[in-house]
Amino acid sequence: MTDRLRATSSSGIGCKGKERVAAIAGHICPIAGGPGDREGDRGGGGGGGEVSRFDEVSLLAAMASEEVHCAPISAWAKLAQAPEDPILGVTVAYNRDPNPVKLNLGVGAYRTDEGKPYVLHVVRRAEAALVGDRSRNKEYLPIVGLAAFNKLSRALAFGADHPAVLSNRIATVQCLSGTGSLRVGAEFMAQHYHTPVIYVPVPTWGNHNKVFPKAGLKLLTYRYYDPATRGLNFAGMIDDLQAAPDGAVILLHACAHNPTGVDPLPEQWDAIRQVIRAKRQLPFFDSAYQGFASGDLDVDAYSLRSFAADGGEMALAQSFAKNMGLYGERVGALSMVCATPEAARLVEGQLKLVIRPMYSSPPLHGAAIVATVLGDEKLFQEWKVELKGMADRIIDMREKLYQALVARGTPGNWTHILKQIGMFTFTGLNKTQVDFMREKYHVYMTGDGRISMAGLSTSTVPRLANAIDDAVRNVA
């Protein structure tokens, strides 16, 4: 046994005697600072650092009585290298790039026309009011979160006087932004829904493909985007929904579909709803961009409200990351619209059982900001103006980029830049072209050719247009 014990450098990790004995029993713990580490004991005899000359019993006794060191052999040493997240990894690569003119269009976060992150004025004002209010404290929120936030979020999505809201048929729980709301909703469905299968559009936000299977739902897809028209494959979508099993969960982007920027028209939404209702499927809306698509909160809620109006059940994951610029505050809500108030009460109880062992209760600060803004008529009106300002700047970037490509005579039809909605343009550039633009122009976007229009500014449009023009002309 002793030949497995090796002296090592004193940079080893601290390790108490008892643990060390246990580690030796598992044949993994080398020694430093113990008898075998003494200079005089190392020399001669070959195998410098070997402790074969030591009596095992006294060694163990010594180990048990004093603090010794384990070599830095990690239990995780054999882990596979994890790949970077395909979306967040773009920012990692961007941050590593020393080029001063680099441009990050990968991350879905709003930037000013100066290219700077933007904290909304109403958010600053709400925060100032919160900080100045000495009656506030930092106690835990309940498992379901801040009651005022839940009520106001629900009203924002469905309308304050919506029958489902007024009749208490909606169970709302505050969650960790949009992702957390999706995850809690999915876990709940995996445990309690009779058909734990979810259909997502192709393509969809990359994290959907991970969140739902992790939560225990079987993931399947329906056709959504048509690369030929760079628009909606409406017929394909309807066919696939028809072919999906009765009762399946259908993931729908409420507005500003990510990554394509392609949304159904209102009449198309009505047809989609009819199929889903006829098949008693469960619509699960992901609303990460309310107000960001058109600049109008009500216009962007059309899909949600039309589904809620027909009395059928549905789920909604809501995020305030983009529309209130609260990315890092992680504030969102899951609402389950139920057929009866009694069902909503039961659902809420089970959602608490999902949340409690997951993260216990949600964070306070972001929810308090949202509740302050939504609950104060003056701040609410100001928010709408700021939101419209953000949406308009994005629309302006669409126009500028389109004009810049037309001015360069860039081969191809670029009208989809104008037609697509919300934060992103799905350019149609392929992976080789994307890589080329990163290498030569230091322009960063996701591998599928998606660019965040919110990351573009008047001064960076020409560079992006040059890069696209070069890629389209010279890279297949």
Ligand X SMILES: Cc1ncc(COP(=O)(O)O)c(C=O)c1O
C-beta of residue 211 within 8 angstroms of C-beta of residue 177: no
Stretch that binds ligand X, among 27-35, 175-183, 264-272, 465-473 (CB under 6 A): 175-183
Q: Closest approach of Cβ 260 to ligand X, in Å? A: 11
Residue 286 designated active-site: yes
Residue 37 designated active-site: no
Using CB atoms within 10 Å of the CB of residue 322, give its burial: 0 to 12 exposed, 13 to 18 middle, 19+ buried: buried
Q: Closest approach of Cβ 366 to ligand X, in Å? A: 10
Unique residue bearing structure tokens 């057929």: 339
Residue 269 designated active-site: no
Single residue of 104, 258, 425, 466 touching ligand X by CB under 6 A: 258
Distance of CA 435 to the CA centre of its chain: 24
Stretch that binds ligand X, among 171-179, 192-200, 370-378, 439-447 (CB under 6 A): 171-179
Query: Please, which residue, 199 or 414, has the CB nearer to ligand X?
Result: 199
Query: Please, which residue, 162 or 330, has the CB nearer to ligand X?
Result: 330
Q: Closest approach of Cβ 327 to ligand X, in Å? A: 6
Stretch that binds ligand X, among 160-168, 177-185, 241-249, 466-474 (CB under 6 A): 177-185
Question: Contacts with ligand X in 310-329 (CB under 6 A)?
Answer: 319, 321, 327
Q: Which amino acid is at 286?
A: D
DSSP 170-212: EEEEEEEHHHHHHHHHHHHHHHH-SS-EEEEEES--TTHHHHH
Q: Does 108 bind ligand X (CB under 6 A)?
A: yes
Task: Check 37, 41, 269, 322 and give the catalytic one.
Answer: 322
At residue 258, φ and ψ (nearest 5 deg) are -110, 120
Distance of CA 288 to the CA centre of its chain: 10
Site for ligand X (CB under 6 A): how many residues? 13
C-beta of residue 439 within 8 angstroms of C-beta of residue 470: no
Single residue of 12, 185, 261, 332 touching ligand X by CB under 6 A: 332
Q: Does 303 bind ligand X (CB under 6 A)?
A: no
What is the torsion angle, in degrees rounded to the nearest 10, for the CA atoms of residue 221, residue 222, residue 225 and residue 228? 100
Q: Closest approach of Cβ 89 to ligand X, in Å? A: 14
C-beta of residue 281 within 8 angstroms of C-beta of residue 246: yes
Measure the CA–CA gap between 341 and 450, rounded to whole angstroms. 42
Task: Check 240, 263, 286, 448 and give the catalytic one.
Answer: 286
Q: Does 283 bind ligand X (CB under 6 A)?
A: no
C-beta of residue 307 within 8 angstroms of C-beta of residue 314: yes
Give the residue numbers marked as catalytic: 205, 286, 322
Residues that bind ligand X (CB under 6 A): 108, 177-179, 205, 253, 258, 286, 288, 319, 321, 327, 332
